[in-house]
Amino acid sequence: MRVALLTLLVGVSTLASAQAPATASIDSNQVWQMQDSATTAGLRGIDSVDGTVAWATGTGGTVLKTTDGGAHWMRCATPDAATDGATLDFRGVQAEDGYFAFVMASGPGQKSRLYRTTDGCKTWALLAKNKDEKGFWDGVVLQREYFGYLSVRDVGVLIGDAVHGRFETRRGLIQNIQITDSAGCEARDKESAFAASNSSIIDLGPEYLLGTGGRGGGRLLIAPRLNAGESTNPCEAVEIPIKKGSESSGVFSIDLRDMKHLIAVGGDYTKPNDSNGTAAYTNGDWFHWIASTTPPHGYRSAVQWSESLKLWIAAGTNGSDLSRDDGRTWQPLDDGNWNALSLPFAVGPSGRIARLNPSALPPASNP
């Protein structure tokens, strides 16, 4: 979405800790233990491969990588550094390991780009630019293993805002196929997606899920399975009980723990302390959504299920929350300023990177 996502906040009240530089911390009582990113860039993208290897991206052409769990973050070469790479806003990153990764820039027209590295970010190959001056790319996700859907290297889906009535879509071998408007889900008037660290998209291989926002958004779009010769099958659309109706509101992030339990988070990023309509969940299938009875304590731009901890974590510009009951109720964790999650890491403005400290999480309440 082309609005200045997560930066033009209205009336944001943050704690002093949210404004502090990203320096290392060893306070065992902190839920989020700050790490030294060695940058002041606004960090918008994060992808943890295994908790040891992770990649982060942001404004000013910034790409970072760690191979030691965040003890050290290194600055990668900037894609297209010799021309305009330093003007790019990298809001999405997907990595296979410490060598192979995609980064996606979001911006109007040709400021939306996709790059790939195969040598650990020493060099970058430009795979694609958005050739439509009205276009704006929102996310790129590689196909990961979900419940029998096998991951395939270099295969995924790239989604951009609608420019001809359908969301711009690439599916399959990302670097080799062209945008095909007829294959994208049909968009309502003024419906878009948010460029929120790729987390509004889930790629299941045969089909993908997309959470939408904007004045026409607040829906889950379920793309059809691709069959030979059938590129225009209609997508299914489901309304989600989340704040909607304005350019700055809607679904920002979706995730699942199994094929029956999904969570969507969002709200209105210009009203970060408004908790109304910030989370919803399913309890059985993708077509029936229920608003959280105790929502997160503000707008949320990221949500993720932790299989190892058996809980959900959501984060946004006024803090983070956890849920142990599949999104019905949420419990505040902190009041920091976060943009994106890929557990165990979270990133935010001014170079903020932190690692989740499980030992500092509040205990589960007794039934």
Query: Over 227-258, what HEC string results?
Result: ECCECCCCCEEEECCCCCCCCCEEEEEEEEEE
Q: Under a CB-based contact definition with an 8 Å cutoff, are residues 64 and 75 in contact?
A: yes
Side by side, which strands form the sheet with 113-117? Answer: 90-95, 101-105, 113-117, 125-129
Residues 6+ apart with CB under 8 A from 237: 185, 219, 220, 221, 222
pLDDT given at position 176: 65
pLDDT given at position 354: 98
Q: What is the C-alpha separation between 137 and 139, in angstroms, rounded?
A: 6
Residue 105 pairs in a beta bridge with: 90, 113
Place 152 in a pLDDT band, splitting at 50, 70 and 90: low
Per-residue pLDDT, averaged over 7-27, amounts to 39
Among the listed residues 342, 352, 315, the one whose alpha carbon sits nearest the alpha carbon of residue 23 = 352
Per-residue pLDDT, averaged over 273-296, amounts to 96
Q: What is the C-alpha separation between 160 and 114, in angstroms, rounded?
A: 12
Measured CA distances, 316 to 180, 340, 355 (Å): 33, 7, 15
DSSP letters, 123-142, are: S-EEEEE---TT--EEEEEE
pLDDT given at position 1: 65
- CA 140 to chain centroid: 9
The pLDDT of residue 8 is above 50: no
Residues 6+ apart with CB under 8 A from 294: 328, 329, 330
- pLDDT, the chain, mean: 88
Name the more confident of 13 and 301. Answer: 301
pLDDT given at position 365: 74
Per-residue pLDDT, averaged over 296-313, amounts to 98
Place 7 in a pLDDT band, splitting at 50, 70 and 90: very low
Residues 6+ apart with CB under 8 A from 301: 6, 194, 196, 197, 199, 252, 253, 265, 266, 269, 315, 316, 317, 338, 339, 340
25-29, 93-97, 355-359: which has the highest mean pLDDT? 355-359
The pLDDT of residue 218 is above 90: yes
pLDDT given at position 34: 97
Cα torsion angle, 203, 208, 213, 219, sign: negative
**Half-sphere exposure (CA, 13 Å, Cβ side) for 304?**
24
Place 323 in a pLDDT band, splitting at 50, 70 and 90: very high
pLDDT given at position 156: 82
Q: What percent of the chain clears pLDDT 70, i.e. is strictly above it? A: 84
The pLDDT of residue 76 is above 60: yes
Per-residue pLDDT, averaged over 217-242, amounts to 80
Walk me through the domains of the chain, giving residue ranges and CATH numbers. Answer: 16-360 (2.130.10.10)
Among the listed residues 259, 326, 338, the one whose alpha carbon sits nearest the alpha carbon of residue 298 = 338
**Lowest mean pLDDT, pick from 182-196, 234-248, 322-336:** 182-196
What are 87-144's pLDDT values in tens digits?
999 999 999 999 999 999 999 999 999 999 999 999 999 998 998 888 999 999 987 7
Residues 6+ apart with CB under 8 A from 365: none
pTM to 2 decimal places = 0.89
Per-residue pLDDT, averaged over 14-30, amounts to 48
Per-residue pLDDT, averaged over 5-10, amounts to 36
Q: Under a CB-based contact definition with an 8 Å cutoff, are residues 263 and 279 in contact?
A: yes
Neighbours of 355 (CB within 10 A): 21
E runs forming strands in 317-358: 319-323, 331-334, 340-342, 345-347, 353-356
pLDDT given at position 338: 98
Neighbours of 23 (CB within 10 A): 10
